[in-house]
Amino acid sequence: MSSTINGAEPLLRAVGLSKHFPLESSLLATLRGAEAQTVKAVEAVSLDVTAGQTLAIVGESGSGKSTLGRLLLRLMQPTTGQVLYQGNNIFRMNRRELSAFRRQAQIILQDPYASLNPRMRVGRIIREPLDIYREGTVAERNKRVDALLERVGLNSAHARAYPSELSGGQRQRVGIAAALALSPEIIIADEPTSSLDVSVQAQTLNLLAELQRDFNLTYVFITHDLGVVQHFSDRVAVMYLGKIVEEAPTETLFAAPQHPYTQVLFSAIPLPDPSRRVNWDLPKGEPPSPLDPPPGCHFHPRCPKVMSNCSTIAPRLEATAPGQRVACLLYADGAN
Ligand code: SF4
């Protein structure tokens, strides 16, 4: 289990969370005379999300970070493991508990155009969660929609527009307003700015930061943009092929990354301009297929510090400093 940060009970906690996607039926596999193939998208992830803070989950495409985000919201069932929200396992919640959880935990998606119903006017999109939960009268809901539009930098005239009539940045603001409608405690933001122009990205990030301060929101920020991570998050979890390989306070991770994968990635951050992207191809070679990950440490074929035992021993995520955990044999007890 992950360590509790600063002694505070986490708002959300993942414990041994795994998600495997079967690629074929077990019947087909039996006919082939082999085990069914699976993609281990998320593997034995344990982490804590502290109330009022931002945890960034970073990783290359295919690292499992979006799958992890969906598991944290119970948008899919895990293969094994638990997610505890205020101590309650969200996968064991009854209907009433789950309904209460869904109010408190919302998602903002990467592509605001794809995530907004093109046939619904903006006002209706933002009002929908209020309608589902029967919050107040219709007039009160409409008033709340206007207030939300204003809070995200739009106005009541936008309520009558269709998503296609708005810019990308405006659409993302609508997505944010809809996520805020039920006054959630936690928002999982999956690459919320990566489809936006650079200048709009900064405005959207500023808005999210303001909202966090105003409403004491907790964020889980899924991103591949380390510039965003540095300026926005309190803690960072780095994923590689479904596993967390390093987790630490943001400042610590940028000042002294310990895992060789993190070191290579973070050494190339194009500072001080956060709008520039990191080249995620920096570690030598392509990431291996999640269908057939390398044995031992999954990173060993690309690792600049690889040792003879790295291809046979899978390192565990272990504390190396206060608040910092690393999965690398360089830091394991008895390592040379
Ligand atoms: Fe590199 Fe070995 Fe550490 Fe993996 S365990 S990151 S291969 S040194």
pLDDT tens string 4-59: 444 567 999 999 999 999 876 666 666 766 677 789 999 999 999 999 999 999 99
Indicate whether 185 belongs to any domain.
yes
pTM summary value:
0.89
Counting atoms of ligand 1 from 1, which one is nearest the CA of 297? 4
Phi, psi of 238 (to 5 degrees): -100, 125
Q: Could you read off the pLDDT tens digit of each residue along the chain, which spans 336 residues?
A: 444 444 567 999 999 999 999 876 666 666 766 677 789 999 999 999 999 999 999 998 889 999 999 999 999 999 999 999 999 999 999 999 999 999 999 999 877 677 789 999 999 999 999 999 999 999 999 999 999 999 999 999 999 999 999 999 999 999 999 999 999 999 999 988 888 888 888 999 999 999 999 999 999 999 988 888 988 899 999 999 999 999 999 999 999 999 999 998 877 655 444 444 444 445 566 778 778 889 999 999 999 999 999 999 999 999 999 999 999 999 987 554
Q: Is residue 3 part of a domain?
A: no
Q: What pLDDT does residue 272 have?
A: 47
336 is a domain residue: no
| CB-based contact 20:189 (threshold 8 Å) | no
pLDDT at 227: 84
Closest by Cα among 56, 50, 43, 51 to 16: 43
Strands (E), 228-335: 235-240, 243-249, 318-321, 324-326
Q: Is 328 in the pocket of ligand 1 (CB under 6 A)?
A: yes
Residue nearest to atom 8 of ligand 1 (CA): 306
Ligand 1 atom closest to 261 (CA): 6
Tell me how far the alpha carbon of residue 274 lies from the centroid of ligand 1, in angstroms: 29
315 domain residue, yes or no? yes
- Strand 54-58 with 218-223, pairing: parallel
Nearest Cα to Cα of residue 243 among 277, 290, 278: 290
Which pLDDT score is estimated for 281? 47
Rounded to the nearest angstrom, the distance between the alpha carbon of 238 and the centre of ligand 1 is: 14
Look at residue 2 and tell me if it is in a domain.
Answer: no
| Residue 188 CB coordination number (10 Å) | 28
Which ligand 1 atom minimizes the distance to the CA of 300?
7
* pLDDT score recorded for residue 279: 45
Check pocket membership of 306 for ligand 1, CB cut-off 6 A. yes
Q: Which domain holds residue 179?
A: 12-331
Number of domains in the chain: 1
For a mutational test of ligand 1's pocket, the pick from 241, 245, 303, 312, i.e. the residue with the most ligand atoms closer than 8 A to its C-beta, is: 303
CATH of the domain at 266: 3.40.50.300
Q: Give a yes or no: residue 1 inside a domain.
A: no
Residue 163 counted as domain residue: yes
Residue 243 lies in a domain: yes
**Ligand 1 center–CA 128 separation, angstroms:** 48
239 alpha carbon to ligand 1 midpoint, in Å? Answer: 14
The pLDDT of residue 273 is 47
